[in-house]
């Protein structure tokens, strides 16, 4: 920070103001009819500032002129002629093509909060031009609008197109308001609660502490002795700003698409042309736009006791509604996830009753309530699209999906392999079900990846060729330990690979496929 009260000619200074504590700066113009430009940039708080001029003492113009400090002492108490005053948070400037010689005085005050600001003064405004110039139309245009994207376009700065100076454009996106200057953006990005607890002048503080309240600091020693650590407020300063504000610099392009926005949300967009030589910037006229709404989710109505097929896009979600006609004591939801796991949430009249991940076949029984309405949200997998079948019923005996063992693998017995047959086993349950086994010859290079693609558990035997069917059989066992069956598949070719599938078929005709098994007959016997 600039800690002298003298403003250098032709350089931008950064400084700070404590609330309600005025600050005064001086600037000397030695000759009459001198051009003069003064620019004040507030950062994150409105400022009151005025520029006035006083005549230089007579002896100041001679060879043995007194140092500026002494001249200041002599006239600090005198009020000069006011040239310009402003109150607000715009970047404002005073420009004169012909100014009298004198001691120029810039008084600044912040009545709202502790803040920082920038000042630039020059007697050669024509040749300096440190701030990028704006085009004749300095607005940002919204050229297209989506649910999560907004495309912006703007006219180039003449400083880049005509003067060929190195200009880059920085876009700022936030949900609160437009910004008047890039330093206001930077102040917001680095702000946190500590800013409001800044010590007042005269209390114990060092320049290093400024990092704690919104002023950037390259020095880390503030971390060693920050005054906030022992503060009685007991609040810890957040390590990251909680500000939902994003700044992205994109080089010298004049069109940019902002992505990853939220649907149906208002955003404010600001554009700054930055002179990369001087690091000084000028703001275009900001704009705002509301992203489009999400396409309204259609809610599928479930019929009591009827299986409904549901397809969900990757990372997508589907909503279903179940409104039983009759009064009921219990509701049963049966879910069969055909591919990857899906998440199911069930709310009864807005109250969350269930939230679970489902793989394979699962059944949930919930307590009923008169005239209750159930909203079911199904969320798909991150890996890929999801398919499932769902059944809701108030009649407990109406069970459409077959019960499954915990382990749905098919086991092959290696020692029982021959050149023309393989022997396999699989588990059943205590419920009597029909099992059908199918075989299909596959290439030797058939791999797990292809097998995975065919793992849709919901595709039933009706999708298979008749020639692939081996047999169907019923079995169950009251003793769950003994609910296992074996089968020998004959009539196979020597040295060939086969994919075996077992389907279990429930009373309602709904089938579930076990995990496919790849087997190979012996080549020589």
Q: Which residue has the higher pLDDT, 34 or 296?
A: 34
Give pLDDT tens digits for 342-391: 899 999 988 999 999 988 788 888 888 888 899 999 998 888 888 888 98
What does the mean pLDDT of the chain come to?
Answer: 82
Distance CA(502)–CA(214), nearest Å, equals 67
Closest CA to 399 of 291, 305, 303, 295: 305
Do 291 and 304 fall into the same domain? no
Give the N- to C-terminal CA distance of the chain in Å, as an integer.
90
Do residues 182 and 41 lie in contact, with contact meaning Cβ atoms separated by under 8 Å? no
Do 259 and 122 fall into the same domain? no
The residue out of 256, 280, 295 marking a domain boundary is 295
Q: Is the CA virtual torsion 146, 151, 152, 153 positive or negative?
A: negative
pLDDT band at 224 (very low <50, low <70, confident <90, very high): very low
Do 287 and 321 fall into the same domain? no
pLDDT over 50 at 234, yes or no: no
CATH number at residue 493: 2.60.40.10
pLDDT band at 200 (very low <50, low <70, confident <90, very high): very low
pLDDT over 50 at 207, yes or no: no
Do 291 and 352 fall into the same domain? no
Top-ranked range on mean pLDDT: pick from 65-74, 85-94, 391-400: 85-94
Do 274 and 144 fall into the same domain? yes
pLDDT band at 3 (very low <50, low <70, confident <90, very high): low
Do 315 and 274 fall into the same domain? no
State both tokens at 343.
């998440």
Kindly state whether residue 326 falls inside one of the protein's structural domains.
yes
Model pLDDT, residue 398? 60
Do 247 and 350 fall into the same domain? no
Model pLDDT, residue 266? 94
Give pLDDT tens digits for 146-192: 999 999 999 999 987 776 778 999 999 999 999 999 988 988 887 64
Backbone torsions φ then ψ of 9, nearest 5 degrees: -80, 120
Query: What's the structural domain count of the chain?
Result: 4
Distance CA(8)–CA(378), nearest Å, equals 66
Closest CA to 137 of 120, 121, 115, 157: 157
The residue out of 346, 368, 393 marking a domain boundary is 393
Model pLDDT, residue 453? 64
Do 327 and 442 fall into the same domain? no
pLDDT over 70 at 140, yes or no: yes
Model pLDDT, residue 452? 66
Model pLDDT, residue 451? 67
Distance CA(72)–CA(458), nearest Å, equals 89
Q: For residue 24, give its domain range.
A: 11-56+79-128
pLDDT over 90 at 493, yes or no: yes
- For 110-114, 207-211, 244-248, 510-514, which range has the lowest pLDDT when averaged over its residues? 207-211
- For 5-9, 189-193, 210-214, 405-409, which range has the lowest pLDDT when averaged over its residues? 210-214
Integer CA distances (angstroms), 2 to 10, 91, 234, in order: 14, 19, 32
Do 423 and 508 fall into the same domain? yes
- For 206-215, 283-292, 418-427, which range has the lowest pLDDT when averaged over its residues? 206-215
Model pLDDT, residue 73? 53
Do 461 and 496 fall into the same domain? yes
Kindly state whether residue 484 falls inside one of the protein's structural domains.
yes
pLDDT band at 254 (very low <50, low <70, confident <90, very high): very high
CATH number at residue 16: 2.60.120.680
Buried b (16+ CB within 10 A) or exposed e, 163-188: eebebbbbbbbbeeebbbbbbbbbbb
DSSP string, 426-487: EE--SS-EEEEEEEEEE-TT--HHHHHHT--TT--GGGS-GGGEEEEEEE--SSGGG-EEEE
Do 273 and 287 fall into the same domain? yes
Strand partners, 313: none
Arithmetic mean of pLDDT, 115-122: 91
Do residues 495 and 523 lie in contact, with contact meaning Cβ atoms separated by under 8 Å? yes
């Amino acid at each position: 920070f600039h800690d002298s009260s003298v403003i250098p000619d032709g350089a931008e200074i950064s400084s700070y103001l404590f609330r309600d504590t005025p600050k005064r700066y001086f600037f000397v113009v030695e000759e009459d009819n001198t051009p003069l430009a003064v620019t004040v940039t507030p950062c994150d708080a409105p400022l009151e500032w005025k520029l006035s001029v006083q005549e230089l003492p007579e002896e100041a113009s001679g060879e043995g002129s007194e140092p500026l400090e002494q001249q200041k002492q002599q006239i600090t108490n005198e009020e000069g002629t006011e040239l310009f005053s402003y109150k607000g948070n715009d970047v404002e400037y005073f420009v004169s093509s012909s100014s009298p010689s004198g001691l120029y005085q810039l008084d600044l005050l912040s009545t709202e909060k502790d803040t920082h600001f920038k000042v630039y003064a020059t007697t050669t405004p024509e040749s300096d031009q440190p701030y990028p110039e704006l085009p004749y139309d300095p607005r940002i245009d919204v050229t297209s609008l989506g649910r999560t994207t907004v495309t912006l376009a703007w006219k180039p700065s003449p400083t880049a197109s005509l003067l060929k100076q190195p200009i880059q454009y920085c876009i700022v996106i936030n949900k609160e308001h437009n910004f008047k200057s890039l330093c206001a953006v930077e102040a917001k990005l680095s702000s946190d609660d500590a800013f409001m607890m800044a010590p007042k002048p005269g209390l114990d503080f060092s320049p290093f502490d400024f990092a704690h309240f919104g002023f950037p600091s390259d020095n880390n020693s503030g971390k060693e002795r920050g005054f906030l650590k022992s503060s009685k407020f007991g609040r810890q300063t957040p390590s990251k700003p909680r500000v939902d504000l994003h700044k992205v610099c994109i080089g010298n392009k004049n069109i940019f698409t902002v992505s990853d926005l939220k649907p149906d949300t208002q955003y404010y967009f600001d554009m700054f042309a930055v002179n990369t030589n001087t690091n000084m910037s000028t703001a275009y006229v900001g704009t705002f736009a509301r992203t489009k709404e999400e396409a309204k989710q259609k809610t599928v109505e479930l019929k009591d006791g009827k299986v409904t097929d549901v397809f969900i896009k990757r990372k997508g979600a589907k909503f279903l509604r179940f409104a039983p006609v009759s009064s009921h004591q219990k509701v049963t939801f049966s879910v069969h996830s055909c591919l990857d796991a899906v998440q199911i949430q069930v709310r009864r009249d807005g109250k969350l009753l269930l939230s679970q991940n489902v793989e394979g076949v699962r059944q949930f029984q919930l307590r009923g309530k008169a005239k209750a309405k159930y909203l079911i949200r199904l969320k798909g997998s991150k890996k890929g699209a999801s398919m499932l079948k769902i059944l809701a019923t108030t009649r407990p005996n109406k069970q459409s999906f077959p019960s499954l063992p915990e382990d749905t693998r098919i086991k092959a017995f290696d020692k029982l392999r021959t050149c023309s047959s393989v022997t396999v086993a699989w588990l059943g349950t205590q419920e009597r079900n029909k099992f059908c086994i199918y075989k299909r010859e596959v290439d030797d290079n058939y791999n797990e990846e292809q097998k995975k693609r065919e793992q849709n558990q919901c595709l039933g035997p009706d999708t298979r060729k008749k020639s692939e069917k081996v047999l169907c059989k019923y079995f169950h066992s009251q003793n769950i330990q003994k609910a296992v069956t074996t089968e020998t598949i004959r009539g196979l070719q020597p040295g060939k690979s086969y994919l075996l599938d077992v389907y279990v078929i429930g009373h309602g005709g709904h089938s579930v496929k076990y995990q496919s098994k790849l087997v190979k007959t012996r080549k020589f016997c």
